[in-house]
Amino acid sequence: MVLGLLIIIIPVATFLVAQKLPVMPQVFVEYPADSASPSHSPSISPSPSASVSPGLTIKATFQGLPIEFKNAIAVTLSAKNTDWTKVFTLNSDGTFTSLDLTGLDTTKTYDFILWGHPFLQVKKTIDLSKNPQTVDFGELKTGDLDKSNQVNSLDWSLMVQNYQVDNSSNE
């Protein structure tokens, strides 16, 4: 008796469920537009002019990277123990000017961490109350392929898999 009922109920229920449920992708809320992103999310500024207020100038160089590609690396600058993070690219002279410090307390000292793949991160402690104009992070050392902030056998093992591979056959 129960089985007989199930035989009738299953196709009917399937039909009703199919009518009621939305298609899967509609279940998820769409990503908010960039302008609606929370303030602590990384903000990508395609050029220095995108910054909204005068601020710090950041300087860095990248080990092994030809000078003409300095501005090809997206770097992430974060203040340790805060949600403040900025993502940007350096100019061809190795600087990023007018870094927007909105969200940080300009009377405090922060540990700023600069990182870009595949380079080791560099930390600089900066006292914003002294109104610094430029922070030079020096040369970021290369080789951290797996973003562990250490160059070791795992990075080498990644690299050695592609040794002498030039992808010329794909051009």
Partner 1 sequence: MSNKFFLTALCLSIMVIAESIWSANYLSAAGKIQIKTPLAIIPTPQATLSLESQNTTAKIGEDFETSIVVDPGVRPFQAVDANIFFDKDKLQVKEIIPTVTEEGAQYPQNTFDNVKGRLGVSLLLFNQPLAGKTAIAKVIFTPIAQGEATVNFDFLLGGKNDSNVVLYKEAVDSLGKVANLTLTVLP
Instruction: List contacts with partner 1 (CB under 8 A).
Output: 3-4, 6-7, 10-11, 13-14, 17-18, 21-25, 146, 148-150, 152-154, 156-158, 160-161
Q: Please identify, using beta-carbon distances, which residue of 84 and 155 lies nearer to partner 1.
A: 155
Distance separating alpha carbons of residues 107 and 88, to the nearest angstrom: 24
Q: Please identify, using beta-carbon distances, which residue of 80 and 108 lies nearer to partner 1.
A: 80
Distance separating alpha carbons of residues 53 and 164, to the nearest angstrom: 46
Minimum Å gap between C-beta 74 and partner 1 is: 22
Minimum Å gap between C-beta 120 and partner 1 is: 11
Minimum Å gap between C-beta 101 and partner 1 is: 30
CB-side neighbour CA atoms (13 Å) of 95 = 11
Q: Please identify, using beta-carbon distances, which residue of 109 and 157 lies nearer to partner 1.
A: 157
Q: Please identify, using beta-carbon distances, which residue of 2 and 33 lies nearer to partner 1.
A: 2
Please say whether the beta carbons of 60 and 122 come within 8 A: yes
Minimum Å gap between C-beta 90 and partner 1 is: 26
CB-side neighbour CA atoms (13 Å) of 15 = 4
Q: Please identify, using beta-carbon distances, which residue of 100 and 146 lies nearer to partner 1.
A: 146
Q: Are strands 56-62 and 95-99 parallel, antiparallel or unpaired?
A: antiparallel
Minimum Å gap between C-beta 20 and partner 1 is: 9
Distance separating alpha carbons of residues 31 and 100, to the nearest angstrom: 24
DSSP assigned state of 39: T
